[in-house]
Structure 1
Amino acid sequence: MDTTEILIKIRKIVRSVDIESKKIQKEYGVSIPQVLCLNFLRDSKNYQSTQGEIRKFLNLNSSTVSGIINRLERKGYLARLPKSGDKRVVNIALTSAGDTLLSKMPSLLHEQLSEKLAQLDAELLQQVEKGLETLVTIMDIEKVNASPMLTMEEDLEESFDNQDI
């Protein structure tokens, strides 16, 4: 296999993520990070969490998460609720409209990939990980921040935080 074939395979992965992102945006009116935020709330205790917990889960900066939450709140998919006993803390809660939206959506590419990777035997999974680590090293992108979810909407500045570019 020559290097062109490797580049084509990488491009196929990137393009698939981009296509999925655009399809979800067009059909459901939300971005992949917004879907991930709603999924996180659905899986959280009492369908709610704090903005800080959402930020940690998404591995995005505070301003990006604020924007995600603001847009979802405007669409009625989540609500801000003051925490009982401490009005300084606000919980972000999934609404029934947000839950309904999630129930209509297909499983995301990163969820499908995660399930298929989990089915690989340990040796093959290790080979995949080593191959990807080699690519990251060759491209000198070890310091690029990345979420464990496949998404195209992360801010470019988020990807390059704490780097000398």
Structure 2
Amino acid sequence: MNEETREIYDSRVLRSLRRVIRAVDKYSHKLNTELGLTTPQLLCLDTLARAGAPLTQKALGETVSLGASTVNGIVDRLEAKQYLLRRRSGRDRRQVFLELTPAGRGVLETAPSLLQDRFSTSFAALPGERQKTITEALELVVRLMEADTIDASPNLFAHDKVEPE
């Protein structure tokens, strides 16, 4: 491959990454403006709603792939907005469960569709081999950017984990 072709590919990759970043930023801004929530906050509320039962903070963090301190801050803010409650277990007082309040359920009903859900639906419609190719290419981009040690929620897949084939 000659230098000119390589520069064209570099430019296309960077433009594509920038568009993805902008789409996520625009969605986050819209969400914050309309609901006063961040994307991780909405993701946590949505995860609690879909769980069907109260979750511990640790379980919530594992489900959304966020660290304990990050989830703690999110839960503090959601509790202050009265979107969730912390309830101690009757059996083991050390365990604290998170429950959505009616206000939390209400905000989820008015929330726009998760950007992640739109992507997930479109991605799922692709043939399996195409999904695998895209997944592997993006994972390679992450490694090439030396970003594979950055902790990140798989929030483009809000409800399902991507399992390798």
TM bracket, shorter-chain basis: 0.7 to 0.9
Q: Which residue of 1 is the match for residue 94 of structure 2?
A: 88
Task: Give yes or no for the alignment of 1:17 onto 2:6.
Answer: no
Q: Give secondary structure in 1 for the equivalent of 2:108.
A: helix
Aligned residues: 149
Describe the superposition over 1:56-87 as per-residue Cα deviations: whole angstroms up to 9, x where unpaired: 11222211111101110111100111112222
Task: Give yes or no for the alignment of 1:128 onto 2:161.
Answer: no
The equivalences for 1:41-120 within 5 A come to 41-46=48-53, 48-120=54-126
Describe the superposition over 1:1-58 as per-residue Cα deviations: whole angstroms up to 9, x where unpaired: 7121221111000011011111101110111111111111111233x11011011112
RMSD: 1.4
| Structure 2: gaps spanning 5 or more residues | 157-165
Q: Which residue of 2 is the match for residue 162 of structure 1?
A: none
CA displacement at 1:137 relative to structure 2: 2.6
CA displacement at 1:130 relative to structure 2: 2.6
Q: Give secondary structure in 2 for the equivalent of 1:79.
A: strand
Normalised by the size of structure 1, how large is the TM-score?
0.85
Q: Which amino acid aligns with 1:31?
A: T
Q: Which residue of 1 is the match for residue 155 of structure 2?
A: 149
Q: Which amino acid aligns with 2:121?
A: E
Normalised by the size of structure 2, how large is the TM-score?
0.85
| Structure 1: gaps spanning 5 or more residues | 151-165
